[in-house]
Amino acid sequence: MTRGIALVTGAGRGVGRATAERLARGGYVVVAGVRDVARAHDEYGEAPGVHLVRLDVTCPDDVVSAVGVATDLAGGAAIDVLVNNAGFAMMGAQENGDLQVAREMFETNVWGAAAMVQAVAPGMREARRGTIVAVSSIGARLSNPLVGFYHASKYALSAMSEALSVEMGPFGVRVVMIEPGMIDTDFPRATRLTGNVTDPGSPYAPLFADLRAGFAAWRESPDGSTAESCAEAIWDAIHADSPPIRLVVGNDAAVLHAALRESADDADFQRRQQSFLGLHWAPAPPAARD
């Protein structure tokens, strides 16, 4: 007797893999979407209940075939859980960050997630049940410098998920956004550095150095999350009687979220956020005009 069929995107490593394994341990039959099936076979080893399928969420054929595998495992019925987790980040000053990379990032983080929803939503709506989890970020509520394009993709995912929860709620389909702070995964290594941020002569070099140090210190603090703790939060959200639409995950995210609520105004919040990250990046005085 299984709990149902779950489909997880970006399950090759990090949060996606931990979630696939957690759901399988909890009794789901899990379709784990990965981009490199051979590598995933090696890394997962014996993983009862996990079916590895090739799934690049930007590839429409992969989306159709992964959902097809999940639907077959459900005996032709609707799947029970979609975890839209696949994603990556880029860094770059908006002045010259690579817009082509930003478009590719949106293809994965936003349009890939939307394609997955479109592939499973009709079945869930007709079955009048199902849960769609969007792995968003506390960065869908605040925006750090040099990472604005990434935050924009998470804000977009949240906007879509919030609307989706209203569209599909009356059909018994639940939508939950998971909003972690820092998670100790390979995410930084996969982050694409664009524009001139790594150039020591860049006007943004001091900001980049501060930001990297701030992120590194944040990653080492015990307040962040692990892939496993995120997977546990996802499990809890799927099984809660009435989960919140947006679930802040991790002490760090809770601190930032509380600061957001307490802030009297946006400028005050920006000051708190810069101090959280240890940034020393003050606005220059206005240039004199003739």
Ligand X SMILES: NC(=O)c1ccc[n+]([C@@H]2O[C@H](COP(=O)([O-])OP(=O)(O)OC[C@H]3O[C@@H](n4cnc5c(N)ncnc54)[C@H](OP(=O)(O)O)[C@@H]3O)[C@@H](O)[C@H]2O)c1
**Of the residues 2, 26, 37, 58, which one makes contact with ligand X according to CB under 6 A:** 58
Total of residues contacting ligand X (CB under 6 A)? 29
**Of the residues 4, 92, 112, 243, which one makes contact with ligand X according to CB under 6 A:** 112
The least distance separating ligand X from the CB of residue 254, rounded to whole angstroms, comes to 14
- For ligand X, the nearest residue by Cβ is 14
Phi, psi angles (nearest 5°) of residue 258: -65, -40
The two structure tokens encoding residue 290? 């003739």
User: Which of 105, 102, 55, 104 minimizes the C-alpha distance to 83?
Assistant: 55
**Of the residues 180, 208, 243, 252, which one makes contact with ligand X according to CB under 6 A:** 180
**Of the residues 4, 49, 87, 97, which one makes contact with ligand X according to CB under 6 A:** 87
Nearer to ligand X, 110 or 196 (CB): 110
Per the CB < 8 A criterion, the answer to whether 237 and 25 are in contact is no
Instruction: Centre a 10 Å sphere on the Cβ of residue 48 and count the other Cβ atoms it contains.
Output: 8
3-state secondary structure of 105: helix
Does 228 sit near ligand X (CB under 6 A)? no
**Of the residues 72, 186, 199, 223, which one makes contact with ligand X according to CB under 6 A:** 186
The rounded distance, in Å, linking the Cα atoms of 89 and 148 is 10
Does 148 sit near ligand X (CB under 6 A)? no
Does 9 sit near ligand X (CB under 6 A)? yes
Does 16 sit near ligand X (CB under 6 A)? yes
Nearer to ligand X, 21 or 196 (CB): 21
Answer yes or no: 150 catalytic. Answer: yes
The two structure tokens encoding residue 164? 């989706």
Stretch that binds ligand X, among 42-50, 54-62, 236-244, 276-284 (CB under 6 A): 54-62
Does 36 sit near ligand X (CB under 6 A)? yes
Alpha-carbon distances, residue 114 vs 56, 67, 82, 198 (angstroms)? 13, 14, 12, 32
Angle at 38 between CA 33 and CA 43, to 5 degrees: 80
Nearer to ligand X, 38 or 190 (CB): 190
Q: Is the dihedral of CA 278, 214, 139, 192 positive or negative?
A: positive
Per the CB < 8 A criterion, the answer to whether 67 and 46 are in contact is no
Does 64 sit near ligand X (CB under 6 A)? no
Does 15 sit near ligand X (CB under 6 A)? yes
The rounded distance, in Å, linking the Cα atoms of 57 and 110 is 10
Render the burial of 138-159: b for 16+ CB within 10 Å, e for the rest.
bbbbbbbbbbbbbbbbbbbbbe
Pattern 113-142, ligand X, x by CB under 6 A: ----------------------x-x-----
**Of the residues 71, 85, 158, 196, which one makes contact with ligand X according to CB under 6 A:** 85
Query: Could you say which of 44, 150, 155, 204 is catalytic?
Result: 150
Contact residues toward ligand X (CB under 6 A) are 9-10, 12-16, 35-36, 55-58, 85-88, 108, 112, 135, 137, 180, 182-183, 185-187, 190, 227
Catalytic residues, by residue number, are 150
